[in-house]
Chain A
Amino acid sequence: MGLQWCVSGTTLQTLKLASIPSLSPSRFAPPKTLTLDFFFLSRHARVRRPPFQVLARALSAPAMAFQTATPPEEKVAKPQWKAAIDFKWIRENKEAVAANIKNRNSIANLEAVLQLYDQMSNLQKEVERLRGERNVVANKMKGKLDPSERQRLIEEGKNLKEGLVTLEDDLLKLTDELQQEAQCIPNMTHPDVPIGGEDSSVIRKMVGNPPQFSFPVKDHLQLGKELDLFDFDAAAEVSGSKFYYLKNEAVMLEMALINWTLSEVMKKGFTPLTTPEIVRSSVVEKCGFQPRGANTQVYSIEDSDQCLIGTAEIPVGGIHMDSILSESLLPLKYAAFSHCFRTEAGAAGSATRGLYRVHQFSKVEMFIFCRPEESASYHEELIKIEEDLFASLGLHYKTLDMATGDLGAPASRKFDVEAWMPGLERFGEISSASNCTDYQSRRLGIRYRPSEPSSAIPKKGKGSLAPPKFVHTLNATACAVPRMIVCLLENNQQEDGSVIIPEPLRPFMGGLGSIAPKSG
């Protein structure tokens, strides 16, 4: 359902990254651990961004170190966390990354990322060089020395130290800037995804036919009014527009949809979950959503760093944050129930009436953590589960392979299911299944350790432990309640004003077969 909150241009995005640890601790890392082999670029290479004038100045005049500690012109928001982005891979696949950015209408600036990366690696080398020199000076001072020579060495050591402090400070800033830029790069796209805008999406499957009615068709708002199922007026007073109360059989329908869906996906090996609905905003960011800004879809809690979730994908993605899973645990399949909250900023049009686009709704969301080589087949499994669920409810629907312009930054590929809505007289999105490959796991820090060592030659000492790899994540809507209610009411309406309940839901509604107008 409407998971379009990340127009790829305005969202956070990622990159493939190296399995090297985050660069932030480099200030404390011993020089010898740095074995990055980058091209040498002039360390005075200019980045287009003003903050780096600070850097240039510091390089040429170490004495200004204290001034640069808190540069007044600093505007770059320091990222709270770092994505494990594979910069080396990006540079080696520059053309492919650039094409991908273009296909997705992303605003990511690849040139800036590459420049920053080179600058950062050069600066890192410079830092190493200075550290080495300082060690040399320190070693020289260990022996017996002529006092004047000692004094000279002390002076030299002092100068080196001052220069080093400045450079390390610059390195940290540069790393932050690089993260900021690089996080905008969207996930690489699956090669089979059609390139282009919404119109380029390809129909994978079409099931059923639009129902034929021999009487004037009502939309779900009218049906709901006649059957006393919703109260939008009271909700407008209490909470505002696009909020609603469900009443009577609509409540039973919601409960039935949730419980039927949970019981069905449990049969497919999914573990049911109830998730927190308030999360730290960093988790929202790491899943690829933008919690701030004028057009954010995310509600924030005042005076805190927490947000309301827009989908259970966020807390479930976070459940294994910063951990290394054992391979035998994979795949992990979850079916999470939660309420979802969306500001729906900028949403307008005919489909904004009634239950179609609302600020709060209940949803069952499927989520899979798996090995990279299996994610494509699990993506197929997820879409198959969705299609089976909708088919058994008797819906007329089509499945789309969404084009590049319609993908959120985290998705490598996305399948949407659109069902026929007689009230709208068109198809409307009811679910979505995305393969995010390692986009989210590189941000959330979720890896697994392959049980078989990948390299033929085991390293000494550490035994045969294989290096950890990033898992792939997939998410898919199992049931977004309000849009299902729209579909069920509009498609199953009868001439006498009643609505037939699909067979599979009846046991979950105490055997109720239809919703009839209340007498009197």
Chain B
Amino acid sequence: MEEWSADLPRCGEPKLLRLNILAASQVYTVVVFFYCSSPGTNMRPQTARGYTCLFCASDLGQSARPKKAISSQWRANSTSTAARPSTAPKPVLDIKHIARNPGLYSQNCLLRNYPSFSQHPFDILTLTQRRAELVKQSLDLRTKSKESSKKIEKLRLTERDSEKKGMLDNKIMAALLASAQSAKKELSAYTTELEDIEAELDRLAAGLPNLSSVWTPEGDEAKTLSTYIPPGSKLEAGESHVDIGVALKMLDFSSAAQTSGWGWYFLTGPGALLEQALIQFALSKLHARGWTVVVPPSMVYAHIAAACGFQPRDQHGEHQIYTLQQPERDEGTKPQHVLAATAEIPLAGMHAGKTFEPAELPLKTVAVSRCYRAEAGARGVDTKGLYRVHEFTKVEMFAWTPPDAAADAPGAGANFDTTPSAAAAGHSASTAVFDEMVALQRELLTALGLPHRVLEMPTADLGASAARKVDIEAWFPGRTRASGAGWGEVTSASVCTDFQSRRLGTRVRRRDGEGLAWCHTVNGTAMAVPRVLAALLENGWDAAERRFTVPEVLRPWMYGVDVVKV
């Protein structure tokens, strides 16, 4: 290990790093040297979580030049067996940065609960070194073979011009020809290996989770940022929305179990109205704030979902999203469809392959869609009722921002300010939109009168694409008995930095006109209907009177239904 760490690319002062590496089911502690240029950087990799690498201060997401394909073959290798249309965006991953900071990425895998991937950054380093060797060797070979072909040519010319025909040294000629032949063979072997390495590098890099932000707590403990309890209410235990909803004839689980299975439901009567009211309430709020409203398709190509960080199975082998069976005539010729688990997927894909002008960003959209989830979820309290279901309606916010400071900040355009201090001060454009999303989420929940708390989610709870995630949990009186804690997630907001845009090819022209940068993407729940509906039923239930009161803000869409009684 000592040996290769000495070969690490140098970009500044040497740093010492202690790492736990998982290999062959064993944890090895390894000491690694790093060469880092930023003097104030802490050595521990887990603190390097800004949008800029704290190790080498290299600009994550800065160089967004379209990548030249090495060959068409490695692309074919790097994708799954399903067909991709030729127009599908090609992922451009920052392999250079990973190879420069393997310890950082490895530690990130461990913190993000991707232990089986923690060796991959080191594999990437090894592969890039081998790639460099091969490139050098094949260059040498090319030079040599050029020289020898010159020699051969010269000999032939000599022979033709010479009067001593047949006097040529056949042995020399044969040796030259043989060496040219073997050089050609060697060269093609190098090319093959290079292609394989490119494919493997791409595969390994694509699987790595995004780096985590400076705000994200390490480990699996979330940090509570704030708690809101409506005036006059208390956090008390109460009846479950399942009992309330069935008694009020607003929910029907047993019919849905017959038609579809467990984890499905019918919303009936006032329940169905409440869903429409929640959608309208959220959409009208956001539309009024200037967000662009969209209805996206729910069926998307598998490679688009994968680019957004959604695989048919997650890193633990859990079935995450529904794949649709392909008609026989399309097998192998058309890309496979999956059902979108969230509108984030079709929204992110909406501008795949696009280059934005700086003035177009930030672009803020809000979508209403049906979401489909294959995962059964943890056994126990969550599996009952509306909390964890196979399909639901959701209003989702999604935004594209430049990777730098807010677009309208004067003078910010010339330099992409990616220093962690700028990000921490809230100057980055993606952070600004992120803050706006969380504020909107809180506003909607407050207007509905739901007690809630805002959590900065820890590394272990972040999805592959997120650099930062804030969840809001509402108080569910019905969840207190079974789980001991009445809080349950109702919204989530994530900054994905350039994770999705690198995979979908979404770029922005730099304001100084010099080249392109990767966009940052931000997503957040505006209204996850069944969970909010469940929270409303449990919080708005009057057990003594056996009635549910519809929140004031939803009444414009309830056609006169203010109270639902048993």
In the assembled complex, which residues on chain B have CB atoms less than 8 Å from the CB atom of A510?
284
Which of chain B's residues have a CB closer than 8 A to the CB of A360? 297-299
**With A255-B283, A319-B259, A345-B327 given, is the CB distance from A276 to B352 under 8 Å?**
no
**Stretch in B70-78, B176-184, B250-258, B468-476 with 4+ CB within 8 Å of A:** B250-258
Contact of A274 among B88, B271, B337 (CB under 8 A): B271
What residues on B are CB-neighbors of A310 within 8 Å? none
Q: A235 to B265, Cβ gap below 8 A?
A: no
Identify A283's interface contact among B259, B298, B334, CB under 8 A: B259
Q: How far is the CB of B294 from chain A (nearest CB, A)?
A: 5
Contact B325 A301 (CB under 8 A): yes
B272 touches A235 (CB 8 A): no
Of B287, B322, B557, the contact of A259 (CB 8 Å cutoff): B557
Q: Are A337 and B272 in contact (CB under 8 A)?
A: yes
A-contacting residues, B380-405, CB 8 Å: 390-391, 393
Residue ID in chain A nearest B268 by CB atoms: A273
B292 within 8 A of A: yes
Number of interface residues of B (CB under 8 A): 62
CB of B299 within 8 A of CB of A273, answer no
Which listed residue (B87, B252, B293, B297) contacts A243, Cβ 8 A?
Answer: B297
| B393 to A, closest residue via Cβ | A274
**Per-residue CB proximity of B264-283 to A under 8 Å, as 1/0?**
11111101110110011001
A320–B254 Cα gap in the complex (Å)? 10
- Tell yes or no: B328 within 8 A of A by CB: yes
Assess whether A239 is in contact with B346, with CB atoms less than 8 Å apart: yes
B299 near A294: Cβ-Cβ < 8 Å: no
In the assembled complex, the CB of A195 is this many whole angstroms from the nearest CB of chain B, namely 34
Contact B370 A277 (CB under 8 A): yes
Q: Chain A 108-127, CB within 8 Å of chain B: the 1/0 string?
A: 00000000000000000000
In contact, B273 and A278 (Cβ under 8 angstroms): no
Q: Which of chain B's residues have a CB closer than 8 A to the CB of A464?
A: none
Query: Does B44 belong to the interface (CB within 8 Å)?
Result: no
For B467, the chain A residues whose CB sits under 8 A away are none
A309-339 interface with B by 8 A CB criterion: 314-315, 318-322, 337, 339
The answer to whether the Cβ of B300 comes within 8 Å of any Cβ in the partner chain is yes
Residues of A within 8 A of B271 (CB): 274
B352 nearest in chain A by CB position: A237
- Does residue B143 face the partner (Cβ distance < 8 Å to A)? no
Contact of B327 among A231, A239, A244, A343 (CB under 8 A): A343
Nearest A residue to B280, CB-CB: A255
Cβ 8 A contact of B259, one of A245, A299, A318: A318
A164 interface residue (CB < 8 Å to B): no
Partner of A278, one of B280, B299, B391, B557: B391
- Interface readout for A222-243 with B: 1 if CB under 8 Å, 0 if not? 0000000001001101111001
* Residues on B with beta carbons closer than 8 Å to the beta carbon of A274: 266-267, 271-272, 275, 393
Question: Which residue of A234, A248, A250, A339 has the most chain B CB atoms within 10 A of its CB atom?
Answer: A234
A273 touches B272 (CB 8 A): yes
B89 nearest CB neighbor, chain A only: A237
Residues of chain B with a CB closer than 8 A to A322's CB:
258
A306-B260, A315-B266 known; A251-B293 Cβ under 8 A: yes
Q: Which residues of A contact B259 (CB under 8 A)?
A: 276, 279-280, 283, 314-315, 318-319, 321
A278-B264, A294-B329 as given contacts; A255 in contact with B279, CB under 8 Å: yes
Collect the chain B residues with CB atoms within 8 Å of residue A263's CB: 559
In the assembled complex, the Cα of A303 lies from the Cα of B322 at a distance in Å of 9
A278 in contact with B390 (CB, 8 Å):
yes
Tell me if A231 and B350 are in contact (CB < 8 A).
yes
A238 with B294: CB separation less than 8 A:
no
Known contacts A245-B294, A301-B323, A320-B255: does B350 contact A234 (CB below 8 Å)? yes
- Within the complex, the shortest CB–CB distance from B462 to chain A, in Å, comes to 24
Q: Which residues of the partner chain A approach B264 to less than 8 Å between Cβ atoms?
A: 276, 278
Find chain A residues with CB under 8 A from B256 CB.
276, 315
The answer for the CA separation of A373 and B267 in the assembled complex, in Å, is 30
Contact of B372 among A239, A247, A252, A278 (CB under 8 A): A278
Chain A residues with CB below 8 A from B559, complex form? 263, 266
The listed residue (A276, A318, A345) touching B391 by CB distance below 8 A is A276
Residue of A nearest to B556 (CB): A507
CB closest residue in chain B, given A299: B324
Residues in chain A near residue B269, CB distance under 8 A: 271-272
The answer to whether B296 has its CB under 8 Å from any CB of chain A is yes
Closest B-chain residue to A283, C-beta based?
A: B259
- Say how far A276's CB is from chain B's closest CB, in angstroms: 4
The residues of A that contact B368 with a CB separation of less than 8 Å are 251, 255
A277 near B273 with CB under 8 A, answer no
Q: Are B266 and A339 in contact (CB under 8 A)?
A: no
Assess the A238–B268 pair: CB atoms within 8 A: no
Please, which residue of chain B has its CB at the minimum distance from the CB of A510? B284
The smallest beta-carbon distance between A421 and chain B, in angstroms, is 21
- With contact pairs A237-B87, A238-B349 given, residues A243 and B299 touching in the complex (Cβ less than 8 Å): yes
**In the complex, what's the smallest C-beta–C-beta distance from B82 to chain A, in angstroms?**
11
Interface flag for B295 (CB, 8 Å):
yes
Chain B residues, CB < 8 A from A235? 296-297
Chain B proximity of A326: nearest CB distance (Å):
16
Give complex CA distance A274, B267 in Å. Answer: 5
Query: Is B215 interfacial (CB 8 A cutoff)?
Result: no
Min CB distance B134 to A, Å, is 35
Known: A246-B294, A308-B339, A319-B266. 4 other contacts (CB 8 A): A240-B335, A259-B276, A278-B264, A318-B259
What are 22 residue pairs bridging A and B, where the CB atoms are less than 8 Å apart in the complex? Answer: A238-B350, A239-B301, A240-B334, A245-B294, A255-B283, A259-B557, A262-B276, A272-B273, A274-B393, A276-B260, A276-B266, A277-B391, A278-B390, A283-B260, A301-B322, A301-B324, A301-B325, A308-B324, A321-B255, A337-B272, A343-B327, A359-B297
3 tightest Cβ-Cβ pairs between the two chains A and B? A318-B259, A238-B349, A274-B267
